[in-house]
C-alpha cells in the first residue's frame, strides 16, 4: 500500500501535516512516531524469540520422549 505513494504523494502528505500541525509540532510528532515504531519492533522481536525458544524446547522434549534409551 505505501509503496504506491511515491515522492509527490510524500511531499503532499508532508505539506498537509505542516499546515495542520505547524512547524513546531512536527519534530515532536516524528519522535513520538519513531518511538512507537521502535517499541512495536522490540515487542515483535520478543514475541518471535519466545516462540522460537518454545519450539526448540518442544522439539527437545519430542526427541527425548522418542528416544527409548533415555
- pTM here? 0.58
Dist CA 21 CA 16 (whole Å): 9
Residue reference for cell 522490540: 42
Q: How far is CA 35 from its chain centroid?
A: 11
Q: What's the mean pLDDT in 44-55?
A: 96
Q: Decide if 26 contacts 18 (C-beta within 8 A).
A: yes
1-46 pLDDT, tens digit per residue, is 556 778 888 889 889 988 998 889 988 988 999 999 999 999 999 9
Amino acid at each position: 500500500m505505501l509503496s504506491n505513494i511515491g515522492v509527490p504523494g510524500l511531499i503532499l502528505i508532508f505539506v498537509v501535516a505542516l499546515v495542520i500541525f505547524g512547524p513546531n509540532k512536527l519534530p515532536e510528532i516524528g519522535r513520538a512516531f519513531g518511538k512507537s515504531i521502535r517499541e512495536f519492533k522490540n515487542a515483535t522481536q520478543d514475541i518471535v524469540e519466545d516462540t522460537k525458544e518454545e519450539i526448540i524446547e518442544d522439539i527437545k522434549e519430542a526427541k527425548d520422549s522418542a528416544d527409548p534409551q533415555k
